[in-house]
């Protein structure tokens, strides 16, 4: 319920900001606005000021703007109606919604750095490889434990944050890695791997140092039944000494149905228990229901640095979003990587529980996504309306209404299909 409430509030804010962009630009262009509603559905309360009725509606999922003449059947072509304005004025009104979402993202992101960012401590550490997963792209590329990553696709990297940012947004991989090995520099190419594509994010299998400390034990799983607790440090698995978390994880994943002996250090005592991993049918590997404990740090910045880092991060996210869209269109990335309403709601709830800074960052990211996606040239989206207006400008007259209706119907059908697909992806992720 908490997740649903937070998601509803955040989505409502973002859509309201979008509609406010349309509203303010319409007023600036001298277009009569009949109604500006906060929310949808039945009116709860409203007040008319001048020509505009300001309304609070029952469903708090955003809002809408109704402009005079927006419905062509009701248009009288009065000077203050939407259709009577120039193509440029109408385009500015249409574009104002997504542009407002993008502006809000650029305003929110510096606030995140000012409040402080909570992040895993290892992200600030030098990208020295501490573990290579069996059969991973990193292993196949010849990367070894102890290698220090110095460049990715020719761009220098200084910490694990740089590395994970690139890899997580490249499910298809094909990334060139330069590593420092002793006194020499070696070059390797991470090739595509089905595991990354199915997960919806890049997977390399080269990992930082991570202590084998249990952070969470899931109820109803073998680890809980065996008596393991949060805070236990795993020191042995089947009498083999453990040096990091990935060693434990890899062993458990590859031994579904086989009884294992785990030894943990709890306070000053050693506790040994037997546990049998169960097979996760969707993921196809063994699990016992434990998560690792990650050390986190909060990084804060001054006002000027917050603005610089915030704008830089917003630009980076914008370019990543555009890059992902380009690769989707060119079919270089699977549609399985996309998340829909369920995943967005889940991530919103997790961000809210993680802290105010994380929630603001996620809100900024969503606003950016909403803005960029609405610029796509698909009928029913703002970008589609801009295409109609460009065609009108070129041919000197509006498109045939029937043509526009057909195009919008096709666009709406495509949008519904996309929502169904990403929702299906979400459901699969939830069960995984």
SS3 122: helix
R_g of the chain, CA atoms, integer Å = 26
Cα distance between the two ends of the chain: 21
Q: Are 200 and 340 in contact (CB under 8 A)?
A: no
Residue 12's alpha-carbon distances to 46, 55, 141, 203, 367, in angstroms, are: 18, 15, 46, 34, 11
Q: Is residue 128 a contact partner of residue 303, using CB atoms and an 8 Å limit?
A: no
Largest CA distance in the chain: 84
| DSSP 8-state secondary structure symbol assigned to residue 124 | G
Task: Check residue 9 and give its pLDDT.
Answer: 78
Render 199-251 in DSSP notation, one character per residue: HTS----EE-----BEEEE-TTSHHHHTT--TTPEEEEETTEEP-SHHHHHHH
Position 332 scores a pLDDT of 66
Give the pLDDT of residue 199: 45
pLDDT given for residue 103 in this prediction: 93
Question: Residue holding tokens 């249990």?
Answer: 214
What is the CB neighbour count within 10 angstroms for residue 208?
22
Within a 10 A sphere around the Cβ of 345, how many other Cβ atoms?
19
Angle at the Cα of 212 from the Cα atoms of 207 and 215, rounded to 5 degrees: 105
Partner residues linked to 179 by β-bridges? 149, 186
Residue 57 contacts residue 39 (beta carbons within 8 Å): yes
CA distance 197 to 183: 35
pLDDT score at 1: 67
CB 258 within 8 A of CB 276: yes
Burial of 210 (0-12, 13-18, 19+ CB in 10 A): buried
Alpha-carbon span 236 to 245, nearest angstrom: 11
Q: Where are the alpha helices (DSSP H) in 66-159?
A: 87-115, 137-140
pLDDT reported for residue 198:
46
DSSP state, residue 414: H
The residue count for the chain: 432
Token representation of residue 240: 């083999």
Residue 19 known to be catalytic: yes
Nearest to 199, CA basis, from 424, 429, 384, 373: 429
Nearest CA among 98, 90, 78 for reference residue 393: 90
Distance between CA atoms of residues 166 and 179, nearest Å: 15
Cβ atoms 206, 164 nearer than 8 A? no
Q: Is this model's pTM higher than 0.85 or not? A: no
Q: Which residues of the chain have pLDDT under 50?
A: 196-199, 432
Packing angle between helix 2-28 and helix 356-374, nearest 10 degrees? Answer: 50
Whole-number Å distance between alpha carbons of 359 and 318: 18
pLDDT reported for residue 99 = 93
pLDDT at position 333 is 61
Catalytic residue among 19, 70, 133, 392: 19
């Amino acid at each position: 319920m908490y997740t649903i409430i937070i998601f509803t509030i955040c989505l409502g804010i973002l859509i309201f900001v979008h509609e406010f962009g349309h509203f303010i630009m319409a007023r600036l262009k001298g277009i009569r606005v009949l109604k500006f509603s906060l929310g949808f559905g039945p009116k709860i309360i409203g007040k008319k000021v001048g020509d505009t009725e300001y309304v609070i509606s029952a469903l708090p999922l955003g809002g809408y703007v109704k402009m005079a003449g927006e419905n062509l059947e009701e248009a009288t072509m009065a000077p203050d109606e939407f259709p009577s304005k120039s193509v440029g004025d109408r385009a500015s009104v249409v574009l104002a919604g997504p542009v407002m979402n993008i502006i809000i993202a650029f305003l929110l992101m510096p606030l995140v750095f000012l409040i402080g960012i909570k992040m895993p401590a290892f992200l600030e550490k030098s990208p020295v490889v501490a573990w290579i997963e069996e059969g991973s792209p990193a292993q196949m590329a010849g990367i070894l434990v102890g290698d220090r990553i110095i460049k990715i696709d020719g761009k220098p990297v200084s910490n694990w944050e740089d590395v994970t940012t690139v890899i997580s947004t490249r499910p298809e991989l094909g990334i060139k890695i330069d590593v420092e090995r002793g006194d020499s520099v070696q070059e390797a190419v991470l090739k595509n791997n089905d595991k990354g594509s199915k997960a919806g994010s890049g997977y390399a299998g080269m990992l930082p140092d991570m202590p084998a400390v249990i952070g969470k034990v899931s109820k109803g799983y073998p680890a809980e039944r065996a008596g393991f607790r949060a805070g236990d440090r795993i020191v042995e698995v089947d009498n083999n000494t453990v040096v990091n978390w990935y060693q434990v994880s890899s062993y458990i994943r590859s031994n579904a149905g086989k009884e294992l002996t785990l030894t943990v250090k709890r306070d000053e005592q050693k506790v040994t228990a037997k546990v049998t991993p169960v097979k996760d049918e969707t993921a196809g590997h063994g699990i016992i229901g434990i998560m690792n404990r990650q050390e986190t740090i909060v990084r804060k910045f001054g006002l000027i640095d917050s603005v610089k880092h915030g704008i830089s991060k917003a630009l980076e996210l914008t370019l990543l979003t555009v890059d992902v869209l380009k690769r989707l269109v060119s079919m270089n990335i699977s549609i399985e990587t996309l998340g829909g309403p369920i995943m967005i709601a889940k991530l919103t709830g997790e961000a809210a529980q993680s802290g105010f800074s994380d929630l603001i960052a996620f809100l900024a990211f969503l606003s950016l996504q909403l803005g960029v996606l609405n610029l796509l040239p698909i009928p029913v989206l703002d970008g589609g309306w801009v295409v109609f207006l460009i065609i009108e400008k070129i041919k000197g007259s509006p498109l045939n209404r029937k043509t526009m209706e057909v195009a919008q119907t096709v666009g709406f059908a495509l949008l519904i299909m996309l929502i169904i697909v990403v929702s299906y992806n979400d459901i699969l992720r939830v069960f995984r």
